[in-house]
């Protein structure tokens, strides 16, 4: 029996879990919830995750929430390349990167993107985003440096949970940079390859992965 993955379009946490399932080769039933219809707050989903947050995974009677834990659970199910490394040393590296991404990269990306992505951006949205740019470029610079001489953030021959944890935030950044509120802002992230060529090549490697298209946020295709 395949697992069920509950997710929402555009949620970076859900996206990383879908990428991990595809890469690890875990068959899953897709349960796409509509945020606008508040399906994540409906009793049927609250019975799965009382916190009303996606992603969530159902594996028989077992429920797993929190994207990092879900990726770990998927690692135990699939037969593709390991998501958390094959040795203790590799696991340490993957967790080190996941931790950095989930604290520092996420905060830096949200600092820039939140003002730009607001449904009704405030008049000072660009100024707020601009103030957050130094922290963002510090993080992007570190990702760029890590990718010197290796294809994946934690090293190794295949993408790990660390790569899947990070990718949605880079895509979110590219999307925010194209928003009207970002016009005139010298954000330095679009096109990504201009300042971060290794990071852009890393994005392209993940985009070329079989199954990537199935994970792409459906509502992003509409613009
Ligand atoms: N720490 C959680 C974060 C999950 C999360 O915040 N999900 C958001 C979507 S990006 C959500 O479901 N929000 C709905 C809500 O809080 O009402 C994880 O890593 O899975």
Distance 115 CA to ligand 1 centre (A): 19
Lowest mean pLDDT among 30-44, 61-75, 109-123, 156-170: 109-123
Cβ atoms of 179 and 117 closer than 8 Å: yes
Torsion angle, alpha carbons of 170, 142, 73, 2, to 10: 30
> Where does the pLDDT of residue 163 fall: very low under 50, low under 70, confident under 90, or very high at 90 and above?
very high
Token pair of 205 as six digits? 């490697």
Mean pLDDT across 169-190: 92
The Cα 147–Cα 20 span in angstroms is 20
**Ligand 1 pocket mutation pick from 53, 64, 165 by most atoms within 8 angstroms of CB:** 53
Minimum CA distance residue for ligand 1 atom 2: 66
The Cα 32–Cα 98 span in angstroms is 25
Mean pLDDT across 192-208: 97
| Residue environment code for 32-68, b if the CB has 16+ CB neighbours within 10 A, otherwise e | ebeeeeebbeeeebeebbeeebbbbbbbeeeebbbbb
Q: Given this model, what pLDDT does residue 184 score?
A: 86
Strand partners, 191: none
The more confident residue out of 188 and 60 is 60
What is the DSSP pairing of strand 62-65 with strand 3-8? unpaired
Cβ atoms of 36 and 44 closer than 8 Å: no
Q: What is the CATH architecture of 3-75?
A: 3-Layer(aba) Sandwich (3.40)
Indicate whether 223 pLDDT > 80.
Answer: no
Minimum CA distance residue for ligand 1 atom 15: 53
pLDDT in tens, 36-60: 999 999 999 999 999 999 999 999 9
Contacting residues for 60 by C-beta, under 8 A, at least 6 apart: 1
The topology under which CATH files domain 88-215 is Glutathione S-transferase Yfyf (Class Pi); Chain A, domain 2 (1.20.1050)
Atom number of ligand 1 nearest to Cα 66: 20
Q: Which residues have C-beta atoms less than 6 Å from ligand 1?
A: 8, 11, 13, 40, 52-55, 66-67
CA distances from 134 to 84, 128, 139, 142, 212 (A): 31, 12, 9, 13, 31
pLDDT in tens, 12-33: 999 999 999 999 999 999 999 9
The residues spanned by each domain of the chain are 3-75, 88-215
Output the pTM of the full model. Answer: 0.97
Count of CB atoms situated within 10 Å of the CB of 206:
19
Distance 52 CA to ligand 1 centre (A): 8
């Amino acid at each position: 029996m395949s697992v069920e993955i509950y997710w929402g379009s555009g949620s970076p946490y859900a996206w990383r879990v879908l990428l991990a399932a595809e890469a690890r080769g875990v068959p899953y039933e897709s349960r796409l919830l509509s945020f606008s219809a508040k399906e994540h707050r409906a009793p049927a989903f609250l019975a799965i995750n009382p916190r009303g947050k996606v992603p969530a995974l159902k594996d028989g009677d077992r429920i797993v929430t929190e994207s990092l834990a879900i990726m770990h659970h998927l690692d135990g199910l699939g037969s593709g390349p390991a998501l958390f490394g094959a040795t203790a040393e590799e696991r340490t590296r993957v967790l080190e990167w996941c931790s950095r991404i989930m604290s520092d990269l996420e905060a830096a990306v949200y600092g820039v993107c939140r003002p730009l992505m607001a449904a009704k951006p405030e008049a000072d949205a660009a100024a707020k985003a601009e103030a957050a740019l130094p922290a963002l470029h510090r993080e992007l610079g570190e990702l760029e440096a890590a990718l010197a001489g290796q294809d994946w953030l934690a090293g190794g021959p295949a993408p790990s949970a660390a790569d899947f944890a990070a990718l949605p935030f880079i895509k979110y950044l590219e999307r925010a940079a194209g928003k009207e509120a970002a016009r005139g802002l010298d954000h330095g992230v679009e096109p990504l390859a201009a300042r971060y060529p290794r990071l852009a090549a890393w994005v392209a490697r993940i985009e070329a992965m079989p199954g990537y298209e199935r994970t792409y946020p459906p509502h992003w295709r509409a613009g």
